[in-house]
Structure 1
Amino acid sequence: MLRRFPQVRRTALLSAAVVLLAPASASAARTEQPLVTPPGPFADVTRSLVTIDAPMPAGVPAHPAACDQLRYYRYRRTGGPTDPQQADAVFVNMPGVLGGAGSLEMHGLGVVQLAAERGRSVEVWALDRRSNCLEDRHGLDAALRSNDPAAALDYYFGRKEVEGRTFGGFLKNGQVAVAAHFDLKQTIEDYRTVIVDGMPDADVRARKLFCGGHSLGGSLTGQLMAWDFDGDDATTGDAGLRALPGVDRARQRRDRRPVRPR
């Protein structure tokens, strides 16, 4: 599909990583909240927030309830398939080190809109990492709703009540001990959970699902490919590379290719 539509290909460079096939797992409780699509040339894009129940492991320090959930923004074609497995392709993207799902908004809107204009139904999923659960976005959201940036300044720095809430203050390290558990292992497992939950059919994932990211997100995609999911060095069937048949087959073809003299 990307070879056929070069404009979509250029817009989708963030996503053009690998076809993903991860082991299937039991589906977690999942909700999807419709969101308003921002103004602009995105008439063919439907936007929503997907939340998956995924409790932190036992023994983790006290934390907000939001830290027991995974979240991502889902961008899909208006009037297209509601089941992502029926889409022409799904691009799963991880943001950079200081970014959240919102930092990939224009990417998601643009890829879906360009594909729709060419008769294709694709999806983009922009992920949040667990650490985003510690954010208090009330002031920012209030400023967006009122179209007045002063609302955010009043909330975070003016100690003023905004839309019925008062900011509790910026937390110190000792107050967010749970952050130590948002490590690489948890992040990679969360990455896979989102993918398997959203597209449970392994055969469909092998044909239609791609993952990648911006900056740190690209590095994390590489970690996903190399990850040892069962923690046993003696087994290799669960290795990330084996879970990515598109990459593994390409490597095998390369290894079989005869070397031609220059």
Structure 2
Amino acid sequence: MSLKALALAGSLAIATPALAADYSKSLVPGYSDVTAEYIQIPGYAAPSTPKGLNTATFLRLRAAADGDAPKAANAVIVGLPGFSSTPAHWLFLASQLVHKAQARDCEGKPCRVEVWVLQRRGANLAETTALTAARKARDPKVALDYYLGPDAQRPSTIQGAPGQVGTATEMAKWKALTPNDLSFMADWDFQTYAGDVDQIIGLISQKTGNRNIFLAGHSQGGGFVSNYAARQQADGKRAVSKLAGLVFLDGGPSAGNQPAPTAADLDGYFAHVKDLRTGKVPVYTDASGLLGAVAGPNAAVSQSVTGIYYAFVDPKAESIFPLRVQGMPDMPGSGFLKAIRTTWLARAGTSFDTDPVPGGGVQMPVLQFLGQGMGYLDFKPVPGTEDKCDLTPPAPMAGPMRAMAPPPPKCAPSAAMVDPNKVYDWVEGGGNGGSSIDGGKAKLWMESQGFAPARSNIRPVKVVFSQSGERVIDASDMVASNWYASERWDYDANFVGRYKVLKVDRDGVKLDLDKSAIANVPVYVARQGFTQGTGGNPFPGVSDYTEINKTGTWQTEAARAVTPFDPKINVAILRHTDFVSADDSTPDKGRPGDAGNSAVANTLIDWVLKRSKGVATTPTPRALGVVTRY
């Protein structure tokens, strides 16, 4: 029986009324009309992966008013996160879309849009029992003690200041899985992730002729949208034929920049695949990768513990997690970030804002490109120290980032500028904030990192690993960091995206993609770009094309005929992650694209609803086995 049939059978099998489920701990912060559920279903059968780990997982966001009986959906948006991202990054854009749909009319009834955001497989390996225990106890120290150790918080040398949390100690109970344990990740390739999306889409039931499923990707996920749409499925059809629209959020669109791989290209690809399969290169990203010391399971666990604190602390209290961690290279502002004391809100903002001390260059290089604009640190140098700049040379950047890098800071702040007896706060961006050039808010970042729905169908699974032995993996508490990021997936994303046509059947890899098949489908693009007109459309067969960039909104005649948007709408203030996380707290002020008025949420909702046809049936929580975990 298919997943769809199983889910529908489960919904029909309800013979007697049941008590309504408790959704109170699964409502999205700031959106009481949106409920979240963390869902896991059987995924693509990747070779050598233990059965209990061959799973597809996604965050489901839908109208809270529907409770245990979701109403037919006018649209289901399946979202694909970007590089090193998770559903948490999408939490607020997804919730804004679900919320706005309910205020719109669809044939005399409130519209229904669901957003399902894929979780990376590496996050399914997260052992989250102690995160759940901390939520139950409403005490984040439960998680701190388990994952980092009860002695991980070191006493402060400053009187009255709380101790700072360091790296995990010997007393920590959690231990990372090893590359040998996870050798099967070498085959978590494009086909695996595409197969997981097949399984997820398979839960949605449409009548013949209806068009309700939209595929959306952010960053690296945008590349996946093109690749998936071009892929031949088991029935011989290209996936694009089953989709109502394609959405690209600061990633893509691309139809490939090379016709097809040469024999040498394929040999190079399979040589690297062999290195992954034989353990010559790591199967998951560690601290030696692009993100450095903030990547890998140990860093991800620390971020998950930080997220639990975000969920329970007073944002204006002093943070106990430092802004610089062991292993980070010295760069301008390193001493400043080690010395400064911040509130939790300022800690959240400074950790992910692209330029938290305006012009100071203190953010790590990769996050200058991948982060958000959330405001700025409420900091002024101690009088008399304004010229005591940090002269540390900037850290080297990877090639593409180096070409787009801003000029070096004129004066990077130093530790000498910091008042050791002061706790510094944050000035928010977004609606009614103190920075009109920033589309996000540190408060939203805190909430997204700390949120995990209490409702899930994920159960513990017992796995015997080759090196670590028997472990029980309970991944039911949604993590905001990918604990074990797949190197194979990242490699495949680049390789598969490069070609217009890719047909391979070799060494266990079977792919058939033809991007010329992406035609006769609506395309929505929002990205940091300066293209004027619709010349950025890489798909000759697409006539319904909308692009919103830094210069304004550009539409083909076919697109304007369906949803004519104000040409002045732009994304000039948005940074990379703002495209899925921007604040929308003042949508009635200004125009979409202004601080507090999300350019994406306030255009995409109508773009989707106007292009959907009919309704789709989605599974009930009971059919999926969803329960309230605590």
Same fold (TM over 0.5): yes
Q: 1:170 aligns with which of 165, 176, 181?
A: 176
Shift of 1:141: 3.0
Shift of 1:194: 0.5
Q: Report the RMSD for the aligned CA atoms in angstroms.
A: 3.5
- For the 8 Å contact 1:92–1:125, the answer to whether it is kept is yes
| In 2, Cα distance between equivalents of 1:40 and 1:212 | 23
- In structure 2, the residue matched to 1:227 is 231
- In structure 2, the residue matched to 1:115 is 101
Q: 1:44 aligns with which of 24, 28, 33?
A: 33
| In 2, Cα distance between equivalents of 1:209 and 1:182 | 25
Amino acid at match of 1:179: M
Kindly tell me: are residues 190 and 64 of structure 1, through their superposed partners in 2, closer, same or farther at Cα, counting changes over 3 Å? closer
Greater CA drift, 67-76 or 47-56: 47-56
- In structure 1, the residue matched to 2:218 is 214
| In 1, Cα distance between equivalents of 2:55 and 2:189 | 16
| In 2, Cα distance between equivalents of 1:245 and 1:39 | 27
| In 2, Cα distance between equivalents of 1:159 and 1:181 | 37
- For the 8 Å contact 1:54–1:69, the answer to whether it is kept is yes
- For the 8 Å contact 1:95–1:216, the answer to whether it is kept is yes
Amino acid at match of 2:90: L
- In structure 1, the residue matched to 2:2 is 26
Report the 3-state secondary structure (helix = DSSP H, G, I; strand = E; otherwise coil) of the residue aligned with 2:177. Answer: coil
Kindly tell me: are residues 208 and 104 of structure 1, through their superposed partners in 2, closer, same or farther at Cα, counting changes over 3 Å? same
Which residues of 2 match residues 61-100 of structure 1 at below 5 A?
61=49, 63=50, 65=52, 67-80=53-66, 82-83=69-70, 86-100=72-86
- For the 8 Å contact 1:34–1:47, the answer to whether it is kept is no
Kindly tell me: are residues 131 and 78 of structure 1, through their superposed partners in 2, closer, same or farther at Cα, counting changes over 3 Å? same
Higher share in helix: 1
Q: Deviations over 1:77-119 (max 9, x none)?
A: 13349456x2121111112221223332222222212222333
- In structure 1, the residue matched to 2:238 is 239
- In structure 2, the residue matched to 1:129 is 120
Q: Deviations over 1:138-172 (max 9, x none)?
A: 23333333343322221112179xxxxx8441122
Amino acid at match of 1:175: D
- In structure 2, the residue matched to 1:60 is 48
Report the 3-state secondary structure (helix = DSSP H, G, I; strand = E; otherwise coil) of the residue aligned with 1:132. Answer: helix
Report the 3-state secondary structure (helix = DSSP H, G, I; strand = E; otherwise coil) of the residue aligned with 1:197. Answer: coil
What count of residue pairs does the alignment treat as equivalent? Answer: 216
Amino acid at match of 1:27: L
Q: 1:152 aligns with which of 130, 143, 168?
A: 143
Report the 3-state secondary structure (helix = DSSP H, G, I; strand = E; otherwise coil) of the residue aligned with 1:194. Answer: helix
Percent identity over the alignment?
Answer: 23
Kindly tell me: are residues 46 and 202 of structure 1, through their superposed partners in 2, closer, same or farther at Cα, counting changes over 3 Å? farther
Amino acid at match of 1:192: D
- For the 8 Å contact 1:34–1:48, the answer to whether it is kept is no
Report the 3-state secondary structure (helix = DSSP H, G, I; strand = E; otherwise coil) of the residue aligned with 2:39. Answer: strand
Which has the higher relative contact order, 1 or 2, with Cα contacts under 8 A spaced 6 or more apart?
Answer: 1
Structure 1: state its 5+ residue gaps.
Answer: 1-24, 161-165, 258-262
| In 2, Cα distance between equivalents of 1:60 and 1:150 | 37
Shift of 1:55: 6.2
Q: Deviations over 1:196-237 (max 9, x none)?
A: 223354533xx222111222222111110121335xxxx9x5
Amino acid at match of 2:82: G
- In structure 2, the residue matched to 1:6 is none
- For the 8 Å contact 2:214–2:243, the answer to whether it is kept is no
- In structure 2, the residue matched to 1:102 is 88
Q: Deviations over 1:54-82 (max 9, x none)?
A: 3624x515x372x1322212111133494
Greater CA drift, 26-35 or 142-151: 26-35
Shift of 1:186: 0.6
Report the 3-state secondary structure (helix = DSSP H, G, I; strand = E; otherwise coil) of the residue aligned with 1:175. Answer: coil
- For the 8 Å contact 2:39–2:57, the answer to whether it is kept is yes
| In 1, Cα distance between equivalents of 2:82 and 2:42 | 23
Amino acid at match of 1:171: L
TM-score by length of 2: 0.31
Amino acid at match of 1:26: S
- Given the alignment of the two structures, is residue 143 of structure 1 paired with residue 112 of structure 2, yes or no? no
Kindly tell me: are residues 253 and 73 of structure 1, through their superposed partners in 2, closer, same or farther at Cα, counting changes over 3 Å? closer
| In 2, Cα distance between equivalents of 1:73 and 1:208 | 18
Report the 3-state secondary structure (helix = DSSP H, G, I; strand = E; otherwise coil) of the residue aligned with 1:43. Answer: strand
Question: Which is higher, the Rg of structure 1 or of structure 2?
Answer: 2
Report the 3-state secondary structure (helix = DSSP H, G, I; strand = E; otherwise coil) of the residue aligned with 1:203. Answer: coil
Amino acid at match of 2:75: A
Report the 3-state secondary structure (helix = DSSP H, G, I; strand = E; otherwise coil) of the residue aligned with 2:222. Answer: helix
- Given the alignment of the two structures, is residue 189 of structure 1 paired with residue 195 of structure 2, yes or no? yes
Shift of 1:253: 6.7
- For the 8 Å contact 2:27–2:64, the answer to whether it is kept is no
Kindly tell me: are residues 227 and 55 of structure 1, through their superposed partners in 2, closer, same or farther at Cα, counting changes over 3 Å? closer
Amino acid at match of 1:89: A
TM-score by length of 1: 0.68
Report the 3-state secondary structure (helix = DSSP H, G, I; strand = E; otherwise coil) of the residue aligned with 1:248. Answer: coil
- Given the alignment of the two structures, is residue 203 of structure 1 paired with residue 209 of structure 2, yes or no? yes
Q: 1:249 aligns with which of 520, 539, 542?
A: 520
